[in-house]
Structure 1
């Protein structure tokens, strides 16, 4: 698959089954991530892989976080949290590592980590691997962050779920570029 095809046609694959990406495919995923734009070459990211029984441990951590935030959460809600990591054979947690820098603000570092995550998604699509980027309140939860061993300068920016698509990928509808692009001709007059 050529690069433009991956960039233009990539879609999320929310229903994923075994097998997970191979070691060779993972190498390509992470090499693509490491090519993200990176002002100052700070490498303001790191990745955690979660698979096998570790997915159950992550599910327990999610349930703990929900129970901590919502003491009245019912068993159905806690079970749903426990099952979240079981939706794919491999999860890659993308973590932004914010560093003090005189020329690279925190927001730019988070954006760079987001570009690294997008690189993984594009490389997955190019290799025929199904992938979807999920966030939600557990991405920003202190109980989860602590359980993952995140430092004070780190934050989860997404959970990438990867595996074999359970069904054929949908075809993304065409988008009219003109609806999102315009020319600027100078300072607005107020």
Structure 2
């Protein structure tokens, strides 16, 4: 078996970068399309492609930040929650919304399609990191509130946000954080 030490080292040391520390430059269109293509190389039973991308550039991020502030106030959401969610977009230079877009299928249950959309999110984070950019996969109440996000991003009624992937140039490497004890989480059965 041929192990690629560089690839294994990447996966064993990969680390998301905090969204608030991601600045300019962001990926250009060519680089972004290469990253989205790499992110799409996921298990996809039935070749259903149960996801799609919405790329929010800086003006789009600012517009979403403003919409969050207005919606949150109208709904009586806690001011701190509104401020945090709004700032996440107001400070962003590029965010890719990975939209879970399940397809009708007798053979592929929705849970498998959901897992595929999640794999796309991780694939995009990894593609960004491998391309020299910083990335962070976030959600929060904004992603999970269909009354807000469906009209804000023009989602179809059966679609939802699997993740907001913030992209940019990392200003610094974050400190390492505790990792799981894989041996304690692993069971072998003979």
Q: Considering the TM-score relative to the shorter chain, is it more than 0.5?
A: yes
Q: 1:90 matched to which residue of 2?
A: 94
Say yes or no: does 1:57 pair with 2:52. no
How far residue 44 of structure 1 moved from its aligned partner, in angstroms, is 0.4
CA distance in 2 between partners of 1:125 and 1:18 (Å): 15
1:42 is matched with which residue: 48, 58, 65?
Answer: 48
How far residue 131 of structure 1 moved from its aligned partner, in angstroms, is 0.6
Mind listing any 5+ residue stretches in structure 1 that lack a counterpart? Answer: 186-190
Report the count of equivalent residues.
183
Normalised by the length of structure 1, the TM-score is 0.86
Q: 2:186 matched to which residue of 1?
A: 181
For residues 87-116 of structure 1, what are the alpha-carbon distances to aligned partners after superposition, in whole Å with 9 as ceiling and x for unaligned?
331100010001110011111111101101
Say yes or no: does 1:32 pair with 2:54. no
Normalised by the length of structure 2, the TM-score is 0.86
For the residue of structure 2 that corresponds to 1:53, the secondary structure is helix
Which segment drifts farther, 49-58 or 59-68?
Answer: 59-68
Q: 1:125 matched to which residue of 2?
A: 129
User: Root-mean-square deviation (CA), in Å?
Assistant: 2.1
For residues 8-42 of structure 1, what are the alpha-carbon distances to aligned partners after superposition, in whole Å with 9 as ceiling and x for unaligned?
21111011111111223212211111101100000
Q: 1:165 matched to which residue of 2?
A: 170
Structure with the higher fraction of residues in helix conformation: 2
Mind listing any 5+ residue stretches in structure 2 that lack a counterpart? Answer: none
1:151 is matched with which residue: 144, 150, 156?
Answer: 156
